[in-house]
């Protein structure tokens, strides 16, 4: 029996095909089975790349023209998560400000001192060296030790900075010697750091997904973000790592592939614990890139020690001694603002300590263990994450891998202060990121909104 040639999908079938990615089969000859398999395959690709409407991505549509290959169009307004992120954060901010003011007033404390450490922390003379009543202690401490022989051997102060991590402080010291003075170099340091921390918020305000653009992201992710305020208040160089962390997340599953490893190396140069973010590359089955990033970060730190005055071996040994002893000198029982895993273990023991009999003894034992071995809880947490990422590599959702990898630098060290919560800003900006049509194409790496 003679069958007339097929002339392409009918209008009804075209309507069925409007959820998916670019099909491999194009042209006039389609069979019912091939069209159904294309639609199923497209729905699977969209769900894996975070492109389904349920997961918050922008569902692609297949649009065909006469005699042409099908193309993808994406409706960015279909992604609900950027709008949810911005408006939920706005509502919580509006609630938290009066609540914070009332609670702080109840305890008869200055509201401005409750967000971070004491402004007058004793590291400088505010009248001549600070700004207002602020000393910006994390700027002043390295400055006072940077040209001494006791940078990593001071009996009182533990300095966990590597030589390459001290570059912003060295540059500020050079500006001071060039005639700006201490206060002038401090102001330049703070302005440049603020610009670095503002980049993610400005990027969202200008290039974010519809529903997340405008002035609100600048307020939520910069001006009113507590981690940003703490970082500024302390003058801590961790603020310079924020743009690199954002680049790492954006290009974790996007071409060019070299950007994410280089961003990880740059972030590790600022703070050594950021080397842990390479685990996200492991979760994405980018084992080679993870190894290159780790080796590159270690090599950069080693070269910086070679260029630093003094014996490189002695400097490395003394620096590592400062890193490992810092958790003991500022233990989990002393620092209320400690974000690390060992602090959580100590708090658990403290809760059990008040219970009778065996439970109380168990609580006291947990507290003593946390004080004597502050690095163990973080090491156990890191080991669990490494094993899980290696065994489940390729099957871990990108959103989960990113959040865990960014949180580890704040949880693993024995002492971790509030400015390491900057990773939350990166996650928020990633949620508000735009979805590009090329990110949802079949075979492309997902790289739109984080969820």
Show me where the domains of the chain are located.
Answer: 11-78, 81-313+375-434
Alpha carbon separation from 69 to 64, 65, 149, 272 (Å, rounded): 7, 7, 69, 49
Note whether 260 and 290 are within 8 A (CB).
no
d(CA 284, CA 274): 18
Helix (H), strand (E) at residue 71: strand 71-74
Phi-psi label, residue 256: left if phi above 0, alpha if psi -120 to 50, beta otherwise:
beta
Note whether 114 and 101 are within 8 A (CB).
no
**191 Cβ neighbours under 8 A, 6+ residues apart:** none
- Three-state helix/strand/coil letters over 308-361: CCCCHHHHHHHHHHHHHHHHHHCCCCCCCCCCCHHHHHHHHHHHHHCCCHHHHH
Give the pLDDT confidence score for residue 30 in this predicted structure: 36
d(CA 396, CA 285): 10
Q: The whole model's pTM is what?
A: 0.77
Residue 9, φ and ψ in degrees, nearest 5: -70, 145
pLDDT, tens only, 50-99: 444 334 444 445 444 444 444 444 444 456 788 888 898 999 989 988 88
CB atoms within 10 A of CB 176: 18
d(CA 270, CA 158): 17
- DSSP character for 446? P
Q: State the DSSP string of 364-376.
A: HHHHHHHHH-TTH
Give the pLDDT confidence score for residue 113 in this predicted structure: 67
Note whether 391 and 353 are within 8 A (CB).
no
Residue 443, φ and ψ in degrees, nearest 5: 90, -10
Q: Which spans in 392-451 are helix H?
A: 398-411, 422-431, 437-440
Tokens of 39: 């639609």
d(CA 176, CA 172): 6
| Nearest-10 crossing angle of helices 226-234, 422-431 | 140
Give the pLDDT confidence score for residue 12 in this predicted structure: 46
d(CA 271, CA 416): 12
- Indicate the burial class of 235 (C-beta count within 10 angstroms; 0-12, 13-18, 19 or more): buried
Question: Does residue 29 sit in helix, strand or coil?
Answer: coil
Q: State the DSSP string of 138-201.
A: HHHHHHHHTTSTTTTT-SS------TGGGHHHHHHHHHIIIIIHHHHHHHHHHHHHHHHHHHHH
pLDDT, averaged per 10 consecutive residues of the chain (451 residues), comes to: 50 43 41 42 46 42 48 52 87 89 79 71 75 84 81 82 93 91 92 94 86 85 90 92 94 90 96 95 93 96 93 91 73 77 92 87 91 90 94 88 94 89 91 60 44 54
d(CA 317, CA 152): 9
Question: Does residue 215 sit in helix, strand or coil?
Answer: coil
Sign of CA dihedral 16, 22, 28, 30: negative
d(CA 207, CA 400): 24
Give the pLDDT confidence score for residue 327 in this predicted structure: 60
CA 5 to chain centre: 56
Alpha carbon separation from 366 to 388, 414, 448 (Å, rounded): 26, 15, 43
**422 Cβ neighbours under 8 A, 6+ residues apart:** 197, 227, 228, 231, 238, 239, 241, 242, 245
């Amino acid at each position: 029996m003679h069958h007339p040639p097929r002339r392409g999908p009918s209008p009804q079938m075209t309507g069925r095909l409007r959820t998916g990615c670019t099909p491999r089969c194009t042209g006039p000859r389609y069979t019912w089975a091939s069209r159904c398999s294309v639609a199923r395959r497209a729905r699977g690709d969209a769900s894996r790349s975070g492109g389904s409407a349920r997961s918050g991505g922008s569902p692609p549509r297949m649009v065909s023209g006469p005699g042409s290959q099908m193309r993808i169009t994406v409706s960015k307004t279909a992604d609900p998560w950027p709008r949810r992120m911005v408006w939920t954060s706005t509502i919580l901010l509006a609630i938290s400000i009066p609540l914070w003011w009332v609670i702080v007033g109840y305890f008869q404390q200055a509201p401005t001192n409750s967000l971070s450490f004491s402004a007058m922390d004793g590291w400088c003379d505010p009248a001549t060296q600070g700004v207002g009543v602020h000393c910006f202690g994390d700027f002043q401490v390295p400055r006072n030790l940077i040209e001494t022989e006791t940078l990593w051997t001071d009996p009182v102060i533990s300095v966990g900075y590597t030589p390459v991590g001290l570059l912003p402080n060295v540059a500020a010291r050079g500006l001071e010697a060039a005639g700006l003075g201490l206060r002038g170099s401090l102001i330049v340091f703070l302005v440049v750091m603020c610009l670095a921390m503002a980049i993610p918020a400005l990027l969202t305000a200008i290039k974010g997904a519809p529903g997340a653009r405008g002035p609100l992201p600048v307020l939520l992710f910069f001006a009113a973000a507590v981690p940003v305020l703490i970082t500024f208040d302390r003058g801590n160089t961790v603020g310079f790592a924020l743009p690199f962390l954002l680049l790492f997340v954006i290009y974790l599953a996007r071409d060019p592939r070299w950007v994410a490893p280089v961003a990880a190396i740059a972030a590790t140069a600022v703070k050594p614990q950021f080397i842990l973010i390479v685990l996200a590359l492991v979760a994405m089955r980018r084992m080679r890139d993870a190894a290159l990033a780790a080796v590159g970060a270690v090599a950069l730190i080693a070269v910086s020690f070679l260029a630093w005055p003094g014996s490189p071996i002695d400097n490395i040994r003394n620096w590592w001694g400062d890193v490992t002893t810092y958790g003991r000198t500022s233990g989990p029982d002393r620092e209320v603002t400690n974000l690390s895993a060992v602090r959580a273990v100590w708090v658990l023991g403290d809760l059990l300590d008040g219970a009778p009999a065996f439970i109380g003894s168990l609580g006291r034992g947990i507290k003593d263990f946390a004080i004597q071995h502050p690095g163990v809880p973080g090491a156990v947490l890191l080991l669990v994450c490494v094993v899980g990422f290696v065994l489940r590599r390729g099957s871990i959702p990108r959103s989960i891998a990113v959040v865990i990898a960014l949180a580890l630098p704040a949880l693993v060290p024995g002492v971790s202060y509030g400015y390491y919560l900057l990773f939350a800003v990166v996650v928020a900006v990633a949620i508000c990121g735009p979805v590009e049509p090329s990110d949802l194409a079949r075979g492309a790496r997902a790289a739109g909104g984080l969820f």
